[in-house]
Structure 1
Amino acid sequence: MTQTAQGPISPAEIEAAVGRPLPPFPEASLRAFVARHFDRAPFYMDALRNHPPPVYLLETQVLAAGARRFMAAFQGALPDTAFYYAMKSNNHPEVAGHLLKQGFGLDVSGGPELAAALDLGALDIIFSGPGKTDAELDMAVRHAEKVVVLMDSFGELGRLEKAAASRGAVVRTGVRLTTNPDGLWRKFGIPPDRIEDFFQAARSCPHVRLQGLQFHTSWNLSPEAQLRFIEMLGGVLRTLPEGFLREFAFIDIGGGYWPEQGEWLHPGGTPEGMIRKALGQTVAAAAPRYRIPSMPIEGFSEALVPSIERHLRSVVPCRICFEPGRWLVNDAMHIIVSVVDKKASDLVITDAGTNAVGWERYETDYFPVLNLTRPAMIEHPCHILGALCTPHDVWGYAYWGEAIEPGDILLIPTQGAYTYSLRQEFIKPLPAVVVVV
């Protein structure tokens, strides 16, 4: 029983507050995932021959296969599509460079990403994100033949017109629509019911050619949020004047597709665990683990395409754009570290800290830690900690293997999304990147 200012809160009350409990991790599925990566242990160890850990290991073949699969899911079902890799999910230039070779354009969210995309020779770039500076808008104007600016506000429309007029350029643009007008997501875009006002304002800007719309829902384990917004947007489009609709060249339905492996959580990452921590209760560090399932990308296509055709393309028969990021890179990069110190049978320190991922990910998110030196299909409780001067430097609360000793090589697989881009220069050097072609 936990005591608060309002009195004691029982476990039953906590369970009622969080609703239905999360599904436990299917043991067979987890073991299959671990076995698959242990089977590749010789490949991983060979990649380290000239590059000792810690390293990020990027597999470009995995990246390319994912790109082909994502495109195939939608290209065969829609008559006109375009695909853009969201660079923020992993900004290593080899990632964007290989996806350009697969026929993707690039989606950038800031000046450094735009500069990197231009350096890579990208010819089809969309520039999204709130708060674009005048210098960033000027960079987009200077490369107007390569860049479509997805404007975020009426104010940005005015500043972009000024920047383009100063250079005598005409810029292709779209406008982002907010998908949540009440929460923190209202920082993105304009309300859908202001589309007509925005098009009217753009008509008074001769250097801005407004050609489309963009929206984005995040954390899409299923297409439900996208389907709701597409249906709502179709209703709004039907109210617009025919003259506006004829100007549409594209509708960008964003990204946010979750990798097929689903979301894997420690107890502390669940809604119940977060409430218990907020109330000062102890939460189990490791078992039980939970998996929130995610739909395969083909399932997204089967659900989204009919909705797109019915609600969007029946009104505006234009190009449909996609912006995957996490889905493409999640499986293509792994983190490999080594054990430096064994302080107890259930406590080891590694040669890299979680500044390599930029946040305390593994306190809430579960990923198996695999001992490539002593592989075995047994998971042992053990605090696998980094070398940073903070107790929150956690890789995991268990490892798979026969045993664990100093010098052992540990793999944390499928760490390609929102780790490398968020890495931090803090106390310890960052791992090198090993690219396997």
Structure 2
Amino acid sequence: MPTIDSQQGYSPERVEALLHEQTPLLSDSVLRGFVEPFFLRRDEFLAPLEKQETPLYLFEPEVLRRRSERFKVAFQKHFKNTVFYYAVKSNNYPEVARVLTTTGFGLDVSSGLELKMALGLDTQSIIFSGPGKTRAELEMAVTASERVTVLIDSFHELQILGEIACSRQQNIRVGVRLTTRVDGLWRKFGIPPETLARFMKEVKCFPYIHFQGLQFHTSWNLNAQAQLDFILLLKKVLAQFTDEDLRRIKFIDVGGGYWPEQGEWLQPAATKAGLLRKAMELSPENDNNHYFQSACSIEDFAGHLGWAIKNHIFPLIPDCRICFEPGRWLCNDAMHLLMTVIDKKSDNVVITDAGTNAVGWERFETDYFPVLNLSRPALSEKPCNVLGSLCTPHDAWGYSYWGEGIEIGDILLIPTQGAYTYSLMQNFIKPLPEVVVV
């Protein structure tokens, strides 16, 4: 989601420019092309209601398999030695991880809970990343060291892991995460690149710790620019290393953060003008328009990253394995939400039996996803506040729906809710949806 750059100030000229800044409109033809295939599968999505009640998550394993294959093919075209890990945090439904391991993916876990699940699925290749790993979590990793590589997040974490491995006389493979932004909240992740030489020196002090490589991660990537910028910085850092130290680097993990190519679809409130209106305590504009930020295809990501690594990294480390950790890009399209209209306050206000505790955050105040009325399908969109049943005003699914009309008892589908929704569900007021495979 875009943010207002406070460093540029709020001069009258700047305010006027932002209020009139033109965020690209999401075209009706693109929306109809997205909506129509879901209406054509209406009976398939309604079938689970013969046995179960809404709200439900609908999970499509075949979508997940197709996405995983496309991702692998895109990057294997540019890299002979590459490994893929699914970022479990993006959707921690165990069946998502299980399906992806059958397609050749390992698992990227960020907590002891996720590590326990990955081990329970008999996953053979696991990377354990994330800040603030506890001693108990690191002990679990050491216990499963034949399957786990720990991506160390700090010098303190190196010390703790070294002590555990030494006390058990157990070898374990490690990498280290590099900070991609040295300002703001992103400083919580990894070590600054300029301290990498120090890290590689200190890791030698722990005989049971086997240093293997580097990881970095940039998030919310609509294109590859942030990754390319960091690769160029990494080249400058590595160029100062000795040949001996360079040979110690067996892998470079480029992380994830790849945005689905449909782009980011926005409500008016998420545009720069909308954010500014909120900051100025002005009423939001209800123009019924939808906006978007474009994203490149995964093939474009692979092409750009392939070129950058070939030209900036391989001259220094020619035999380096390249790893990727997609999450959102894989699972976004593989889950949908099904709900029922249980009250109608007026022609433009309805209440559903699903609350946004099912997704864990107020995403639909800023993010736009079409709400499809499967009971009265039509390729036309009508204004209406489609709200949840939680006792909070921030419980909104959208401000319009696709259909001929909307009445109590109608079944609504919100497609492509597979990423950073199921994982964020919270026990707040109403029960959580179950998952049904379609």
Where does residue 228 of structure 2 map in the other structure? 227
For residues 49 and 126 of structure 1, the distance between their equivalents in structure 2, rounded to whole angstroms, comes to: 41
For residues 86 and 20 of structure 2, the distance between their equivalents in structure 1, rounded to whole angstroms, comes to: 36
Q: Is the 8 A contact 1:384 1:396 kept in 2?
A: yes
Q: Does 1:240 find its partner at 2:241?
A: yes
Q: Is the 8 A contact 1:62 1:332 kept in 2?
A: yes
Q: Is the 8 A contact 1:268 1:285 kept in 2?
A: no
For residues 52 and 240 of structure 2, the distance between their equivalents in structure 1, rounded to whole angstroms, comes to: 60
Where does residue 299 of structure 1 map in the other structure? 300
Where does residue 310 of structure 1 map in the other structure? 311
The C-alpha deviation readout for 1:94-118, integer Å capped at 9, x for no partner, is 0000000000000000010000000
1:419 to 405, 416, 421: 421
- Say which is worse superposed, 38-47 or 141-150, in terms of deviation: 38-47
| Local SS of the residue matching 2:131 | coil
**Alignment map for 1:147-158 (pairs within 5 Å):** 147-158=148-159
Q: Is the 8 A contact 2:288 2:383 kept in 1?
A: no
Where does residue 434 of structure 1 map in the other structure? 436
Q: Does 1:71 find its partner at 2:72?
A: yes
Q: Kindly state the Cα deviation for residue 17 of structure 1 after the two structures are TM-superposed.
A: 4.8
Taking every aligned residue pair, what percent have the same amino acid on both sides? 56
Q: Kindly state the Cα deviation for residue 261 of structure 1 after the two structures are TM-superposed.
A: 1.0
Q: Is the 8 A contact 1:15 1:21 kept in 2?
A: no
Where does residue 400 of structure 1 map in the other structure? 402
Where does residue 83 of structure 1 map in the other structure? 84
For residues 285 and 426 of structure 1, the distance between their equivalents in structure 2, rounded to whole angstroms, comes to: 29
Q: Kindly state the Cα deviation for residue 51 of structure 1 after the two structures are TM-superposed.
A: 2.3
Q: Kindly state the Cα deviation for residue 52 of structure 1 after the two structures are TM-superposed.
A: 2.3
Q: Is the 8 A contact 1:251 1:319 kept in 2?
A: yes
For residues 48 and 353 of structure 2, the distance between their equivalents in structure 1, rounded to whole angstroms, comes to: 18
Paired letter, 1:213: L
Paired letter, 1:238: A
Paired letter, 2:387: L
Q: Is the 8 A contact 2:214 2:251 kept in 1?
A: yes
The C-alpha deviation readout for 1:334-369, integer Å capped at 9, x for no partner, is 001000011111111001100000000100000010
Where does residue 4 of structure 1 map in the other structure? none
Q: Kindly state the Cα deviation for residue 76 of structure 1 after the two structures are TM-superposed.
A: 2.2
| Local SS of the residue matching 1:313 | coil
Q: Is the 8 A contact 2:21 2:273 kept in 1?
A: no
Paired letter, 2:180: T
For residues 264 and 101 of structure 1, the distance between their equivalents in structure 2, rounded to whole angstroms, comes to: 31
Q: Kindly state the Cα deviation for residue 285 of structure 1 after the two structures are TM-superposed.
A: 4.5
| Local SS of the residue matching 2:233 | helix
Q: TM-score, normalised by structure 2?
A: 0.96
Alignment: residue pair count? 428
| Local SS of the residue matching 2:45 | helix
**Gaps in structure 1 of 5+ consecutive residues:** 1-7
- Say which is worse superposed, 155-164 or 49-58, in terms of deviation: 49-58
- Say which is worse superposed, 386-395 or 47-56, in terms of deviation: 47-56
Where does residue 351 of structure 1 map in the other structure? 353
1:372 to 367, 371, 374: 374
Q: Kindly state the Cα deviation for residue 49 of structure 1 after the two structures are TM-superposed.
A: 2.5
Q: Kindly state the Cα deviation for residue 9 of structure 1 after the two structures are TM-superposed.
A: 7.2
Q: Is the 8 A contact 1:286 1:397 kept in 2?
A: no
| Local SS of the residue matching 2:265 | strand
Paired letter, 2:406: I
For residues 15 and 28 of structure 2, the distance between their equivalents in structure 1, rounded to whole angstroms, comes to: 26
Q: Kindly state the Cα deviation for residue 35 of structure 1 after the two structures are TM-superposed.
A: 1.1
Q: Does 1:119 find its partner at 2:120?
A: yes
Q: Kindly state the Cα deviation for residue 16 of structure 1 after the two structures are TM-superposed.
A: 2.8
Q: Kindly state the Cα deviation for residue 286 of structure 1 after the two structures are TM-superposed.
A: 5.8
**Closer, same or farther: CA 184–115 of 1 in aligned 2, 3 Å:** same
**Alignment map for 1:247-396 (pairs within 5 Å):** 247-285=248-286, 287-316=288-317, 317-396=319-398
**Alignment map for 1:37-186 (pairs within 5 Å):** 37-186=38-187
- Say which is worse superposed, 410-419 or 263-272, in terms of deviation: 263-272
**Closer, same or farther: CA 15–163 of 1 in aligned 2, 3 Å:** farther
| Local SS of the residue matching 2:213 | strand
For residues 166 and 285 of structure 1, the distance between their equivalents in structure 2, rounded to whole angstroms, comes to: 63
Q: Is the 8 A contact 2:375 2:412 kept in 1?
A: yes
Q: Kindly state the Cα deviation for residue 284 of structure 1 after the two structures are TM-superposed.
A: 2.3
**Closer, same or farther: CA 314–19 of 1 in aligned 2, 3 Å:** farther
Paired letter, 2:221: N
Q: Kindly state the Cα deviation for residue 135 of structure 1 after the two structures are TM-superposed.
A: 0.5
The C-alpha deviation readout for 1:186-220, integer Å capped at 9, x for no partner, is 11001111111100000111111111000000000
Q: Kindly state the Cα deviation for residue 328 of structure 1 after the two structures are TM-superposed.
A: 0.2
For residues 28 and 372 of structure 2, the distance between their equivalents in structure 1, rounded to whole angstroms, comes to: 16
Paired letter, 1:346: N
Paired letter, 1:232: L
| Local SS of the residue matching 1:121 | coil
For residues 77 and 199 of structure 1, the distance between their equivalents in structure 2, rounded to whole angstroms, comes to: 29
**Closer, same or farther: CA 338–286 of 1 in aligned 2, 3 Å:** farther
Q: Kindly state the Cα deviation for residue 37 of structure 1 after the two structures are TM-superposed.
A: 1.3
Q: TM-score, normalised by structure 1?
A: 0.96
For residues 356 and 34 of structure 2, the distance between their equivalents in structure 1, rounded to whole angstroms, comes to: 23
Paired letter, 2:297: P
For residues 426 and 221 of structure 2, the distance between their equivalents in structure 1, rounded to whole angstroms, comes to: 27
Paired letter, 1:381: P
The C-alpha deviation readout for 1:131-186, integer Å capped at 9, x for no partner, is 00000000000000000000001111000001111111011000000000112101
| Local SS of the residue matching 1:336 | strand
Paired letter, 1:374: R
Q: Is the 8 A contact 1:285 1:397 kept in 2?
A: no
**Closer, same or farther: CA 56–15 of 1 in aligned 2, 3 Å:** farther
| Local SS of the residue matching 1:362 | helix
Q: Is the 8 A contact 2:18 2:272 kept in 1?
A: no
For residues 274 and 158 of structure 1, the distance between their equivalents in structure 2, rounded to whole angstroms, comes to: 44
| Local SS of the residue matching 1:190 | coil
**Gaps in structure 2 of 5+ consecutive residues:** 1-9
Q: Is the 8 A contact 1:342 1:348 kept in 2?
A: yes
Where does residue 6 of structure 2 map in the other structure? none
